[in-house]
């Protein structure tokens, strides 16, 4: 089975800009803590140099577990602005 198409899709997602996100959920694989990064928080993350989802994922870590270990076992679940429901008046 050729997995190059799946790898290309993951790579393309890593290049997407954080400004395209509505929010992102960061879940720790070790302790289970889930943190929600809203749009305003993602703008703050960009000020520290993380512009793409790939940049953000390489820097994301659990706040609780970071105190005790240097591991970064987190899963990021992005929710894109185009995926959220829009209110119709």
What are the residues facing 76 on neighbouring strands? 26
Q: What is the DSSP letter of 16?
A: S
Tell me the C-alpha distance between 30 and 76, whole Å.
14
Q: What is the 3-state secondary structure (H, E, C) of 51-89?
A: CEHHHHHHHCCCHHHHCCCCCCCEEEEEEEHHHCCCCCC
* pLDDT tens-place string over residues 31-84: 899 999 998 999 999 999 989 998 998 888 888 887 787 777 899 999 888 765
Half-sphere exposure of 20 (CA within 13 A, CB side): 12
Specify the pLDDT at position 28. 92
pLDDT for the residue numbered 82: 77
């Amino acid at each position: 089975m050729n997995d190059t198409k799946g790898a290309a899709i993951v790579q393309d997602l890593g290049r997407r800009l954080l400004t395209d996100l509505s929010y992102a959920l960061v879940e720790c694989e070790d302790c289970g803590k889930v943190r929600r990064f809203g749009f305003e928080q993602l703008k703050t993350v960009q000020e520290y140099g993380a512009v793409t989802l790939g940049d953000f994922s390489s820097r994301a870590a659990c706040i609780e577990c970071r105190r005790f270990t240097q591991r970064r076992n987190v899963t990021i679940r992005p929710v894109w602005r185009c995926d959220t429901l829009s209110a119709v008046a």
